[in-house]
Amino acid sequence: MVEDNYTSPSEFILLGFTNREDLRVMCFVLFLVIYVVTFIGNLGVIALIRMDSCLHTPMYFFLSHLSLLDVCYSSTIIPQALLNVLVEKKVISFTRCATQLFSFATCATTECYVLAAMAYDRYMAICNPLLYSTVMSQRLCFGMLAGAYLAGVISSTIHTVSIFCLPFCQSKMINHFFCDGPPLLALSCSDTHDIEVMVSAVVGFNVLSTTVFILISYLSVLSTVMRMPTVAGRRKAFSTCASHFISIALYYGSSLFMYLRRSSKQSSKHDKLVSLCYCILSPTLNPLIYSLRNKEVQGIRR
């Protein structure tokens, strides 16, 4: 009996947002529209940056990879969510679930470091404009990007292996619309305290270290901007940073709430709504935020 209660299931059941028939069509249409907008919007940003030589700068280099990451982890989550809305048996295999968590965690962690790299780019452009072209070389940009992807892979490997090495109960129902860490930890029959601490430490290090780096960069930017002699100069400097700051606030606010709370056992419908912000709404809104507030992109669109 003890052995039967501690098993590694061959599949899980994703409960999704709702089981109500009258809401399933609405959920499917909503998720489909979000995915199409996210896919087209972010690929459009990438294509625009690739085609126009005026946008071949460090800031747009990082922005193109931010858009690529948004496409990748939206594609990791939303197609499965769409399928689960249509079918009665909302199953996902053990291997596919682990792959989904690994892919999502890789993209999400890498995005933290790409956002930090973009903050450093803005710091150099505004605080050290004379050194900008020398410091923000192609070699440094590729190095920062490679480091971001490496950090994402290492972090997600620790994240995924530590969770899927746990024994799971006979209950296979994940109270979420994709295989995320907290709802998976809630299914384990064993004491997950140590794993929760380790996962929170890894996620916390990635999020908090990049947050501190971004804050320091923007405090330096703010200090430099406030010393500018003209209102027009201050307005232009703030304009170049506004879209990036909005994107950071949306992404980091929801991520911190989701992963750095006290316990995974508290996973609920509220977590699903919070997850929407950083894994679905943020990738959808990023192209709009950057294109609507960015004068270079607006000039090209005209």
Q: Residue 169 belongs to a domain with what CATH number? A: 1.20.1070.10
DSSP type of residue 131? T
Query: By the 8 A CB rule, do 49 and 63 touch?
Result: yes
Q: Tokens 């419908």 map to which residue?
A: 269
Rounded Cα gap, residues 160 and 97, in angstroms: 10
Q: What is the pLDDT of residue 237?
A: 65
Find the range with the poorest average confidence among 49-63, 83-97, 195-209, 268-282. 268-282
Between 230 and 52, name the one with better pLDDT: 52
Confidence tier at 10 by pLDDT (50, 70, 90): confident
Pairing label, strands 91-93, 173-174: unpaired
> What is the predicted pLDDT for the residue at 137?
93
With beta carbons less than 8 A apart as the criterion, state whether 189 and 169 touch.
yes
Instruction: Find the mean pLDDT for residues 294-301.
Output: 51
If you average pLDDT over residues 163-192, what whole number do you get? 81
pLDDT in the model for residue 117: 94
CA dist., res. 218 & res. 222, Å (int): 6
Q: Is the pLDDT of residue 272 over 80?
A: no
Amino acid at site 257: F
pTM metric for this prediction: 0.85
pLDDT tens column, 24-47:
788 888 889 989 999 999 999 899
In tens, the pLDDT along 116-158 reads 999 899 899 888 888 998 999 999 999 999 999 999 999 999 9
Backbone angles phi, psi at 144, to 5 degrees: -65, -40
Domain count, the chain: 1
What was the pLDDT predicted at 53?
82
Task: Give residue 1's pLDDT.
Answer: 39
Between 7 and 231, whose confidence is greater?
231
pLDDT value of residue 106: 95
How high is the pLDDT of residue 255? 64
Strand order in the sheet with 91-93: 91-93, 11-14, 173-174
Closest to 13 measured CA to CA, from 177, 172, 185: 172
Mean pLDDT on 92-99: 90
The domain of 58 spans 2-301
Give the torsion sign (CA, 211, 212, 215, 221): negative
Residue the block writes with tokens 């109960």: 169
pLDDT (average), residues 245-250: 73
Task: Please check the confidence at residue 302 and state whether its pLDDT lies above 50.
Answer: no
Greater model confidence, 202 or 141: 141
* Structure-model confidence comparison of residues 193 and 71, the more confident one: 71
Lowest mean pLDDT among 21-25, 197-201, 262-266: 262-266
> What is the pLDDT at residue 256?
64
